[in-house]
Structure 1
Amino acid sequence: MKGDTYMANQKLGIIMNGVTGRMGTNQHLVRSIVAIREQGGVALSNGDTLMPDPILVGRNEAKLKKLSTEYGIDRWSTNLEEALADDYNEIYFDSQTTVRRADDIRRAVKEGKHIYCEKPTATSVEESLELAKLAKEAGVKNGVVQDKLFLPGLLKLQRLIDAGFFGKILSVRMEFGYWVFEGDWQEGQRPSWNYREEDGGGIIVDMFAHWRYVIDNLFGPIRSVSCLGATHIPERIDEKGKPYTCTADDAAYGTFELEDGIIVQANSSWAVRVNRDDLLTIQVDGTEGSAVAGLRDCKTQHRVNTPKPVWNPDIQNPHDFLAQWEEVPDNQVFDNGFKVQWELFLKHVFADEPFPWDLLEGAKGTQLSDLGLKSWKERCWVDVPDLHV
């Protein structure tokens, strides 16, 4: 933070680059920054209030004007260089496509801006590490969006882990995905670049960055990975109604071995129809109990409540297995995960409060994606070495 004096109502200029995209608009602008402004800012421990003052930056002037008008944002620009040159703007946020992110983060670091960005932070682990090193050498604070840690379902799961509910954790099974329409008779729910490798697409690049921080933070460090990718849908229709060849993977079947012997299986697919409680479910099995967490809910089955089924395909199943689980209560109000992490980062920049999810943590996500792709290509297990800057 520039200067040493706190003000009762302190404004903080934030460059929001790529905010016209789906994630940038919905999660970061509307449900995070606009929501923070509408609640009156971020309350600091000393009683002061921090008010984010964003400038919306992008290439599409019409979209920027529309967002500015709709959400009461006074500042917008198509000139990133001018926004970076303005000392009032202390934070640079990036939610562009991955292939554009690294160059603009370099520019922002050079201008002394604190960095907050979406993941993957770059298209390779080498470039992600370079960004982490540049930020460290420049002395700017930096953070990477790791939103799934703040989902209610995962917070409940963390509560169970902290309480020792599972005993010794044995294994984890993660199922993620849904059917993304091809774009012919129904419009696809995801942008077409997601399915082009040359544009930074692919579910391994996208989701392994998430699985790295989820697994590392909840269950322990990943030490090796085995991954099989697939492009199940070879052709899709883009936003202009034109067919294109899918060059990136739309499904990934991964197995991770953790430091303490826990085995994690993670299936990720944009070509699967959902027959589970949520788009993401995480089942944790331990010696004393098991749990299944979704985005918001979490249910448990303790050792003493575990049924005793017997394999017999010749009779009707006597068990209603889904009814044999108990819901973990909310016991607290859960705010939007993106907003919660934004508030933590703003406190980190302004009041030097802790924020462990930095660019090095982002590089770990890119590393796992790279190693997953390597495992798929070479059809082998790959070790995951420690990263340092």
Structure 2
Amino acid sequence: MAVRTVRIAMNGVTGRMGHRQHLVRSILAIREQGGLDLGDGSTLWPEPVLVGRRAAALRALAEEHGLDPDHTSTDLDAVLADDSIEIYFDAQVTSARVPALKRAIAAGKHVYTEKPTAPSLDEARELARLAGAAGIKHGVVQDKLFLPGLRKLARLVEGGFFGRILSVRGEFGYWVFEGDQQPAQRPSWNYRAEDGGGIILDMFPHWEYVLHELFGRVRSVQALTATHVPQRWDERGEPYPATADDAAYGIFELDGGVVAQINSSWTVRVHRDELVEFQVDGTEGSAVAGLRGCRVQHRAVTPKPVWNPDLPVTHAFRDDWQEVPDNEEFDNGFKAQWELFLRHVYLDTPYAWDLLAGARGVQLAELGLRSTAEGRRIEVPELSL
């Protein structure tokens, strides 16, 4: 079998997501399985080139994972000028993403990027237009579509389990420590609006593609954001004012009249089975899906509760739900999407999650922020270049 090496510039891999999910659990995992079988008699072997701002950290990361320390660089322009590098991947902070992606597109590289693709819709659409004009392949990480729980939920939707879908309720979040008594689990820039932080810009792009792909296009948004914790402590232990929203409460109207309500918060303590859960209610059945699990209740076996606050509740409502079986082996979602993108680049297979899809997520975040600023419901126009 012929082996083709593809060199991928990976920018931002010293960060949490870039390192753990994209480098280790995606690219290195593909190498550990012997490369990516393209199904045409050839195997694709990814060769990462680590890019960032700190040379010592990049070399240490390369050595940790058995990569060539010389395949690291702090000079993005030099990396993009290298004709042997075919793909540029970006997992930097949001505020640094647009100029780097523009340079990669101008250099003729295929681009794959984390989201949000840009701090504003105008910039996100410009990236999509530039990529289209350059004739390159481009993709945006939309990882939650590949979670086992949401894959099972999609299976139920496609099979008509719900009948007519009425509503979607989502709860996402956990308590992110302020950084004084215990170190915070997220970097401090997440809580500074001037650095591209804020939960609505971080999470509404996720909710856009989840709702769009599973239930229908988002037609309107009404949101309320809050900065519940106004002061936090950074990585050096220094206090700083939190200028970005740390909670967002959104109502979305979808095609077909489906109503979605999703709460996103870094200031909530978890009292649910998983850090994110979606409940879908339909005329024929309901489901609750998380990261991995999914439970269902069909109309025919739905109990008939009677409201009576004078008596203690003795019915175990959770016991009435049935677990949806896996029925297949689920790979890591980030790795699964990487493989689809690589096949798209080298086999020209269809790929829907491009920079325009990423721009839809930025659009929803921008309109969500406008909704909370103006205190009203905002229509979401269909997006085009």
- Report the Cα offset of residue 323 of structure 1: 1.1
Aligned-pair distance for 1:253?
A: 0.3
Which residue among 17, 21, 30 is the counterpart of 1:27?
21
Partners of 1:172 and 1:282 within 8 A in 2 = yes
Q: Is the partner of 2:371 in helix, strand or coil?
A: helix
What residue identity is the alignment partner of 1:225? V
CA contact (8 A) 1:252 1:268 kept: yes
1:55-74 superposed matches below 5 A: 55-74=49-68
- 2:180 aligns to what? 184
Cα offset for 1:298? Answer: 0.2
Residue pair 1:42, 1:49 contacting (<8 A) in 2 also: yes
1:304 to 300, 307, 316: 300
Q: Secondary structure at the match of 1:260?
A: helix
Q: Distance in 2 between matches of 1:73 and 1:284?
A: 45
Q: How far has the Cα of 1:318 moved from its partner? A: 2.5
RMSD: 0.7
Q: Does residue 1:225 correspond to 2:218, yes or no? A: no
1:286 to 243, 266, 282: 282
What is the alpha-carbon distance in structure 2 between the residues aligned to residue 62 and residue 136 of structure 1?
Answer: 36
1:106-255 matches, cutoff 5 A: 106-255=102-251
Normalised to the residue count of structure 2, the TM-score between the two structures is 0.99
Which of 259, 263, 269 pairs up with 2:255? 259
Q: Name the residue aligned to 2:82.
A: 86
For structure 1, the 5+ residue unaligned runs are 1-6
| Matching residue of 2:45 | 51
How many residue pairs get matched?
383
Match of 1:3 in 2: none
C-alpha separation between the residues in 1 aligned to 2:96 and 2:176? Answer: 24
**Which secondary structure state, in structure 1, belongs to the residue aligned with residue 34 of structure 2?**
coil
The CA distance in 1 between the partners of 2:45 and 2:214, in whole Å, is 32
In structure 2, which of residues 96, 102, 116 is the aligned counterpart of residue 100 of structure 1? 96
What whole-Å deviation, never above 9, does each CA across 1:171-230 have from its counterpart, x for those lacking one? 000000000001111110000000000000000000000000000000000000000000
Query: Following TM superposition, by how much is the alpha carbon of 1:370 offset from its aligned partner in structure 2, in angstroms?
Result: 0.2
- Using the TM superposition, give the Cα deviation of residue 153 of structure 1 relative to its aligned residue in structure 2, in angstroms: 0.1
Instruction: String of CA shifts for 1:21-42, please: whole Å, max 9, x gaps.
Output: 1110000000000100111111
Task: Tell me the CA shift for residue 50 of structure 1.
Answer: 0.4
Residue 9, structure 1, aligned to residue 3, structure 2 = yes
Q: Counterparts of 1:254 and 1:63 in 2: how far apart (Å)?
A: 39
- Once the two structures are superposed, the pairs formed by residues 327-342 of structure 1 within 5 Å of their partners are 327-342=323-338
Q: Check conservation: 1:180, 1:190, Cα contact below 8 A.
A: yes
1:26 alignment partner AA: R
Instruction: Choose from 359, 364, 368 the match for 1:372.
Output: 368
SS of match in other structure, 2:190: helix
CA contact (8 A) 1:55 1:73 kept: no
Q: Render the CA deviation track for 1:251-277: whole Å, top value 9, x for unaligned.
A: 000000012100000000000000011
* CA distance in 1 between partners of 2:227 and 2:67 (Å): 41
Residue by residue over 1:301-333, the C-alpha shift from the partner in whole angstroms, topping out at 9 and shown as x without a partner, is 000110000000111112101111000001110
Q: Which runs of 5+ in 2 are unaligned?
A: none
- Quote how far apart the aligned CAs of 1:386 are: 1.0
SS at 2:305 equivalent = coil
Q: Distance in 2 between matches of 1:84 and 1:359?
A: 19
Q: Give the match's secondary structure for 2:314.
A: coil
* Distance apart, 1:103 and its partner CA: 0.3
Please, which of 377, 382, 386 is the counterpart of residue 382 of structure 2?
A: 386
Contact 1:99-1:200 within 8 A present in 2 as well: yes
User: Structure 2 counterpart of 1:24, which letter?
Assistant: G
| Partners of 1:50 and 1:214 in 2: CA distance | 30
Paired amino acid for 2:253: E
